[in-house]
């Protein structure tokens, strides 16, 4: 069984960078796959990797991370303008961040219009592939 935990932007918006990263990592360490609305800042992604390394143990091997955001090249002018205003008013909620424990998630791949999350062997030697089609 694989558990996904959705974390809305509101839950992490008011937190400091350190608290935000720790909150996400604590969920991942419970063997859940985090799907967070919005994105971490680049510096926070680096902090996430750094703190993950500090937490590596025989039970926790690390994480798989994938950040999904709209391809602005495919957006017309009005869509880009709407996105910019939305970000200004509501904070950077565009996109999605997926973080899974390395013991559960083998790999996350982004293809143009879908996200493929490969989980580790389930003991039967079968690799499971779970597709999520990205809404345009």
x/- track of binding to another protein for residues 84-113 (CB under 8 A): ------------------x-----xxx---
d(CA 78, CA 52): 39
Answer yes or no whether residue 18 interacts with another protein by CB under 8 A.
no
Question: For another protein, which is the closer residue by CB, 10 or 131?
Answer: 131
Q: How far is the CB of 80 from another protein (least distance, A)?
A: 18
Give the pairing type, strands 105-111 and 114-119.
antiparallel
CB of 30 to another protein, least distance (A): 17
- Our finding on whether 115 is near another protein (CB under 8 A) is no
Closest alpha carbon to 59 in 7, 102, 89: 102
Q: Which residue has the tokens 């791949």?
A: 109
| Rounded-to-integer distance, Cα 103 and Cα 96, Å | 21
- Check residue 28 for interaction with another protein (CB under 8 A): no
Tokens for 71, please give them: 């391809």
Binding site for another protein (CB under 8 A): 41-43, 45-46, 49-50, 52-54, 56, 61-67, 102, 108-110
């Amino acid at each position: 069984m694989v558990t996904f935990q959705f974390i809305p932007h509101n839950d992490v918006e008011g937190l400091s960078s350190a608290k935000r990263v720790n909150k996400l990592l604590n969920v991942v360490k419970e063997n859940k796959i985090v799907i967070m609305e919005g994105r971490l800042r680049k510096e926070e992604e680096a902090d996430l990797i750094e703190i993950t390394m500090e937490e590596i143990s025989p039970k926790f091997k690390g994480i798989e991370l994938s950040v999904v955001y709209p391809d602005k090249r495919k957006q017309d002018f009005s869509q880009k303008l709407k996105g910019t205003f939305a970000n200004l008013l509501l904070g950077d909620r565009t996109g999605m961040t997926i973080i899974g424990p390395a013991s559960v998630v083998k790999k996350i791949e982004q293809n143009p219009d879908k996200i493929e999350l490969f989980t580790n062997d389930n003991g039967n030697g079968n690799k499971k592939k779970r597709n999520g089609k990205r809404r345009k």
